[in-house]
Structure 1
Amino acid sequence: MTIQKIRKTKVTDEVVEQLKTLIQQGFYKTGEKLPPEKELAKQFGVSRASIREALSVLSAAQIVEARQGEGSFVQTIDVTRYIPPVAVSILSLPEQTLHLLEVRKILEASAAELAAERATEEDLEQLEAAVHGYLDEIQMGQIGQTNDLLFHQVLAMAARNPVLVEMMQRISDLVREGMRYTLEQNMGNEERKHEVYEEHLHILQAIKNRNSEAARQAMITHLDNVRKKILRQRQITN
């Protein structure tokens, strides 16, 4: 298959689709390293920023794997995985990730406040398991997404508000992909990974203490810190 120069408006989406097709057709095989961003940008006729965004989308879909200091490698030839269109937008535009964080802060700060008042012993046990599960993940060199997501899901359930739970479920795909994007910024930085762990611990402790205001503030601090990391990363890449 010949790589075609991108001429449509949604540059990142077009790059994603072409790379998926190339992988599906065996042009790039499982385990193979993709060409450097500079070379791909030249082949596709787009900016390196567009290539970087497309690779982030494919990484979120677990089609390619970004390895710190090594490049991007084809992770699977199963490229039929669903990538929510809005999630693609979030991953390709850091501003959209920031918008998502604003929504999460509105919902999850209140969820933490309510959880401090309403969480059952079983909820507390599940929250604690998710916190320690995250630590296990990062100690194994992973980004910690599975238990990070679980922590926030359990916390929403612990608020005991069915409308809030429904709202969180409706944006779960966005939260999942946005979370992957933000956690990947911590790769190779153990201090930042442990900051997330400590922030989760503070939220959990406030809920255990039945201190609704402290739980609310701990959640706000956690999400504000995520925002700062995105802004810092954007300054580095620009």
Structure 2
Amino acid sequence: MNRIQPSAIRLVDSVVTELENQILDGALRPGDRIPSERKLAEDFGISRQSIREAIQKLVAKGMLVTRHGGGTTVTDRLDAPFVDPWYDLVKDHPMLPRDVLEFREMLDGQAVQLAAERATDLDIERLNQAFTRLDTAFGTNDLDECIEADVAFHQTIAEASHNVLIGHLTSSLLRVIHDHVSNNLKHLQSTPKEWARLRKQHRTIWMAIKDKKPTQANIAVKAHSEFVREILVNSALDESRRLSALRRVNSNAP
């Protein structure tokens, strides 16, 4: 067996570290296909054999998945060990909507403040694209696109905070947050005045980050959270009244 020289080992480890950092920073996302061995070898200036060994290490760690004929991708199960059992446990808990909102108030508040302080020019460009997509979606009747764009906007902010834990914790909880956003938007879409308020709130958050105003960004998120809290209360009241009316109808049925 040929022994790998220490310098070769260091080269392999440097590739592993760089690809791990790209995954942690969100440059490579779950499901993304990584560049070919040839392209990576050119980028790093090392042999394809070293690239192959680095990829094998990341596959062994569970960060990459290699499929026959499908190339190598970032695993879309990075967050599964945390999310799946936790989500299955709490998804039907009656306090989940409130608890998710409280968690988002803490997480989003810190994320926007840090994003306003730390966002690079590239982050600002990505945020502009995410906001443009969101604002365009809110001008249509495509609820599914509104939900996806809303979640993506907040995730982009989390990544622009340049805090690895915030970025990945937000990503890990996307399933819960997606359902939370979905329920809120379904309730709001039928009330144009409130829909317009929500649309304006997102613009205010985005402009505060773009203008590098952390305090204003935090205030804007708090106002957004208070508005969503109000919507949750009203939605719960509407549902309670609907069920009450339904019980009366059923009780009078022959």
Aligned residues: CA RMSD:
2.3
Q: Which residue of 2 aligns with 1:205?
A: 207
Distance change in 2, residues 1:185/1:86 (3 Å): farther
Gaps of 5+ in 2: 1-83, 241-254
Match of 1:78 in 2: none
Q: Specify the alignment match of 1:137 in structure 2.
A: 137
Deviation at 1:170, TM superposition (A): 2.0
State the identity %: 23
**Deviations along 1:130-184, whole A, 9 cap, x unmatched?**
2221222232202311111111000000000112112212212111111111111
Measure, in 1, the Cα distance between the counterparts of 2:168 and 2:129: 23
Which residue type is aligned with residue 133 of structure 1?
R
Give the AA of the match of 1:221: A
What per-residue deviation string (whole Å, max 9, x for no partner) do you get for residues 73-108 of structure 1? xxxxxxxxxxx6765777755631111010111111
Report if the CA contact (8 A) 1:199-1:218 is conserved.
yes
- Rg comparison, structure with higher value: 2
Alignment size in residue pairs: 157
Evaluate the alpha carbon distance shift between residue 204 and residue 126 of structure 1 in structure 2; reply closer, same or farther with a 3 A threshold: same
Separation (CA, whole Å) in 2 of partners of 1:142 and 1:86: 30
- Cα separation, 1, equivalents of 2:205 and 2:159: 15
Q: Deviations over 1:105-125 (max 9, x none)?
A: 111100100000001122222
Partner of 1:112: 112
What residue number does 1:192 align with?
A: 194
CA gap of 1:227–1:87, structure 2 versus 1, over 3 A, is farther
CA 1:98 to 1:90, structure 2 compared with 1: closer, same or farther past 3 Å?
Answer: farther
Aligned to 1:218: 220
Contact 2:138–2:199 (8 Å) recurs in 1: no
5+ long unaligned stretches in structure 1: 1-83
Which of residues 210, 225, 233 is equivalent to 2:235? 233
Distance in structure 1 (CA, Å) of the matches to 2:94 and 2:130: 27
1:21 match: none
* Superposition map of 1:1-238 within 5 A: 95-143=95-143, 144-238=146-240
Q: What is the CA–CA distance in structure 2 between the aligned matches of 1:132 and 1:233, rounded to whole Å? A: 28
Match of 2:188, SS state, is coil
Measure the CA separation in 1 of the matches of 2:227 and 2:130.
20
Query: Distance between the aligned counterparts of 2:114 and 2:129, measured in 1?
Result: 20
Q: Is contact 2:105–2:222 with CA below 8 Å preserved after alignment? A: yes
Structure 1 length normalisation: TM-score?
0.60
Letter in 1 for 2:134: Y
Runs (4+) of structure 1 moved beyond 4 Å?
84-94
> TM-score by structure 2 length?
0.56
The 3-state SS of whatever aligns with 1:210 is coil
1:115·1:155 contact (CA, 8 Å) conserved in 2?
Answer: yes
